[in-house]
Amino acid sequence: MVKHNHLIIRANINKPPTDIRFVRKWLRKLVSAIGMKRLGQPVAHYVDVKGASGLTGFALLQTSHISLHCWDEVVPSLLQLDVYSCKDFDKTIVFDSLKQFEPKEINYVTIDREKSIRINSPS
């Protein structure tokens, strides 16, 4: 049976990632650690726009996606991470992967998108 697991994380961190290659590697490791299969290589870019500076990255999964966004102009820095998969995964592995960013605070929500979304048909 297909699952619809969505983990949404917002964290205040002390060590925001700023290296594109590092984030690509970090995403590859996370995908592997949670037992997923990548569709191609992760993509990452650094955005250098005042008020929105930071790193963003994305990995397509056979079962959906992982997206990462960091804002490094604010102190502490802000990290947002989405892990969405149609396959079960261990959320503690995801939280452990964030330790290298030295989180000060982590808030998260998990959504079973199969049960929590009401789909309305057009009339």
Q: Which domain, by its residues, includes 110?
A: 5-116
Tell whether 64 is covered by a domain. yes
Q: What are phi and psi of 120, to 5 degrees?
A: -105, 135
Tell whether 121 is covered by a domain. no
What is the pLDDT at residue 115?
64
Tell whether 122 is covered by a domain. no
Distance from C-alpha of 97 to C-alpha of 119, rounded to nearest angstrom? 34
Distance from C-alpha of 23 to C-alpha of 98, rounded to nearest angstrom? 12
Residues 6/83, Cβ–Cβ less than 8 Å: yes
Note down pLDDT in tens along the chain; length 123 residues. 667 789 999 999 999 999 999 999 999 999 999 999 999 999 999 999 998 899 999 999 998 999 999 999 999 999 999 999 988 899 999 999 999 999 999 999 988 766 655 544 444
Residues in the chain: 123
Distance from C-alpha of 97 to C-alpha of 101, rounded to nearest angstrom? 9
Tell whether 89 is covered by a domain. yes
> Could you give the number of structural domains in the chain?
1
CATH number where 61 lies: 3.60.90.10
